[in-house]
Chains A and B, each alone.
Chain A
Amino acid sequence: MDLALANKFYRKMLLIRRFEERCVELYSKEKIRGFLHLYIGEEAIAVGLMDSFSPEDTVFATYREHGQALARGIDPKKIMAEMYGKVEGCSRGRGGSMHLFDAATRFYGGSAIVAGGLPLAVGMALSDKMMKRNRVTVCIFGDGAVAEGEFHESLNLAALWHLPVLFVCENNLYAMGTALEFTQSETNLAKKAASYRISSRQVDGMDVTEVAKSAQQAVAEIRLGNGPIFIEYLTYRFRAHSMFDAELYRNKAEVEEWKKKDPLILLHQEWQDIDINKYESEISNIIDEAVNFAENGTLEPIEDLEKFIYSLEVAQ
């Protein structure tokens, strides 16, 4: 880690933070609708993680994926246009906030069924192995996914078949509004993963340096062909689960306590030479541009409603 990398990480985390804050404003203005799940507080994971992959690697994410999409390098303009439901969006506006997809960066969504992306990641890694491509598939999910059967089925398959998957659990302590201790018999989730003979670790998810270090190491190990790795990143979301969440299930003191570990503040404390003001102004412009782009985007004509159900036109 040097100042250049610290600058890069800070800038990316700030981009996510400010992007998300703008999304909240736009939601209040009813420019963005539907579900909106914010990544504020968890930025270090996406940024540290995405820095460790190469362009040919594959990403499967969840419905709280704006941060990962930005960190992976999808144009903020295309993401914002997607939020607006415009044709210029990264999923042509068909997906919205929860379904960001981008072939160019191998970003496969954007899945809104908890744990639904895990089997897909296993399959993608299987195809890489079969086609002898030295790729890694990263599969990101939350602590809630660990309670799903698909988590266990998928980890078992990936370990059994020695597949190149990095399973990333963003443990923010709550599955929507239910605390981990109310849903898991074993709250150390890395232990659960280890029971499938998967090399598993618990890492501080608020420290971008630690995230990047652990991810790079994991990716290097996976590329050797030794099978999957599981990392549980301990993190916290500073905002509500979604725009409909009144946050009755946790107290303000707890939130404030975690805010002391704000990944942006932590990084700045460590690298005080980061030129925060420069990035604030640059990012503010980037987001303005993105909003402008989305505002001026095109609404898909209703005549196209039945497109993208089948690859070729099918008379139904």
Chain B
Amino acid sequence: MSSIITYREAVRQALREAMEHDERVFLMGEDVGHYGGSYAVSMGLLEHFGPQRIIDTPLSESAFTGAGIGAALGGMRPIVEIMTVNFSLLALDQIMNNAATLLHMSGGQFNVPLVIRMATGGGKQLAAQHSHSLEGWYAHIPGLKVLTPATIQDAHNMIGLALADPDPVLIFESAMIYNSKGALDTQALPLPIGKARIQRAGKDLTILTYGSSLFKVLLAAKTLIAEGIDAEVIDLRSLRPLDNESIMKSVSKTHRVMIVDEGWKSGSISAEIMARINEQAFFELDAPMARLCTTEIPLPYPKHLEDAALPQPDKIVAMAKKLMEKS
């Protein structure tokens, strides 16, 4: 069954389904209950499931994230909502030193089936401390899985996929697209974690991206096709694990690669992808790879400066055209 709903509603629906399906699932985080979620994702869930399962926490990111880990160890299936990626830094110790390491440190005895959701990304003029895109940074950590739903289908399906996973999964929801609308097919079989999806097939160049940048890339692809450039757009969906196979397959098809990544360029996921293509498909390339990332500055408040710092469709078009000229 297919319906048109928003990204926010898709996540909410998935949360509701998960909690109805499995009584071990509960949601915990700042303002998830009475406020309805900072981005209104959990609106109405408190009334439906009660305060035992929709738990408002104090502003104690480290403790409630760690408590999520502890509850997961105790047999529950917690979903921890950290309001935004910016605040997740206050829980980084728990995420990195406990969630990601316990299985290994215990020699395989204690896995952590924890789901952590958070909003990510800039573009709302929220300035330097509320606009980070650190999902690529989290993808550095062995033991974690890092998901970046862009489509309505994934916003919904990734909750279930993450809950079914025996290990910690981080879901980065793009703050800019909570209001975006699209089709949700609840009967469709979910594409597993670790699989990328070709969002637009093309033959001239591959554009790899994830999260809200996907829609900027798709817009750019429309402009490009009008100018005779047929771009293949791939939604990575998962930054850890990365779908090497799909990436290399597309590179072998188009022989030109561009990456659009809202993270900063230095040490970014785009750098990692370029390195892997270099290692695994170098001789397939007809031109040096290109990438568009966020300018390496803390994001500024004024709209024109923020827009200039973030990847935008016109910049994607310009970079793609330049890439096509090279051989």
Contact = CB atoms under 8 A, between A and B. Distances in A.
Partners in one complex: yes
Contacts of A263: none
A299 interface: no
Contacts of B167: 310-311
Interface string A155-181: 011001000000000000000000000
B105 A307 contact: no
B38 interface: no
Given A153-B62, A157-B57, A95 B67 contact: no
B66 A311 contact: no
B109 A101 contact: yes
Interface stretch (A4-12, A111-119, A186-194, A282-290): A111-119
Interface residues of B, number: 45
A122 interface: yes
B63 A126 contact: no
A196 to B, nearest CB: 11
B66 A118 contact: yes
Interface in B62-108: 62-76, 78, 93-94, 97-98, 102-108
A314 interface: yes
A130 B67 CA distance: 13
A210 interface: no
A123 B97 contact: no
B267 interface: no
A116 B96 CA distance: 11
Contacts, number: 156
Contact of B62 (A93, A127, A149): A149
Contacts of A154: 60, 63, 66-67
A91 B107 contact: yes
Contacts of B110: 101, 103, 108
B229 to A, nearest CB: 32
Nearest to B66: A119
Interface in A88-135: 89-95, 99, 101-103, 108-111, 113, 116, 118-128, 130-131
Contact of A123 (B67, B106, B107): B67
Given A102-B109, A153-B58, A120 B194 contact: no
Contacts of B93: 113, 116, 150
A119 B107 contact: no
B2 interface: no
Among A111, A118, A309, A312, find the residue whose CB has the most chain B CB atoms closer than 10 A.
Answer: A309
A122 B76 contact: no
A307 B108 contact: yes
B106 A128 contact: no
Nearest to A306: B142
B73 A124 contact: yes
A315 interface: yes
B273 to A, nearest CB: 13
Given A130-B52, A312-B166, A124 B103 contact: no
B111 A99 contact: no
A125 B167 CA distance: 20
A314 B241 contact: yes
B33 to A, nearest CB: 13
Contacts of B66: 116, 118-120, 122-123, 150, 154
A308 interface: yes
Nearest to A315: B241
A142 B305 CA distance: 49
B143 interface: yes
A93 B63 CA distance: 29
B71 A101 contact: no
Interface string B133-162: 000000000110100000000000000000
A58 B70 CA distance: 11
A308 B108 contact: yes
Contacts of B94: 116, 119
A316 interface: yes
A131 B104 CA distance: 26
A96 to B, nearest CB: 9
Interface string B247-278: 00000000000000000000000000000000
Contact of A94 (B52, B78, B104): B104
Contacts of A116: 66, 93-94, 97-98
Contacts of B98: 111, 113, 116, 120
Contact of B242 (A93, A307, A312, A316): A316
Interface in B9-52: 26, 52
Contacts of B166: 310-312
Among B66, B76, B167, find the residue whose CB has the most chain A CB atoms closer than 10 A.
Answer: B66
A121 B143 CA distance: 21
A120 B70 contact: yes
Contacts of B52: 130
B58 A123 contact: no
B148 to A, nearest CB: 17
B244 interface: yes
B64 A127 contact: no
Interface string A291-316: 00000000000000001111110111
B244 A315 contact: yes
A108 B71 CA distance: 13
A127 B143 contact: no
Interface of A: 58, 89-95, 99, 101-103, 108-111, 113, 116, 118-128, 130-131, 149-150, 153-154, 156-157, 160, 307-312, 314-316
Given A102-B109, A127-B73, A131-B75, 4 more contacts: A108-B110, A124-B74, A312-B166, A315-B194
12 contacts: A101-B105, A116-B97, A119-B63, A123-B72, A127-B70, A127-B72, A130-B71, A131-B76, A153-B62, A156-B63, A310-B145, A311-B103
- Which 8 pairs, one residue from A and one from B, show the smallest C-beta to C-beta distance? A123-B70, A119-B66, A127-B74, A92-B107, A153-B63, A123-B67, A153-B60, A101-B106
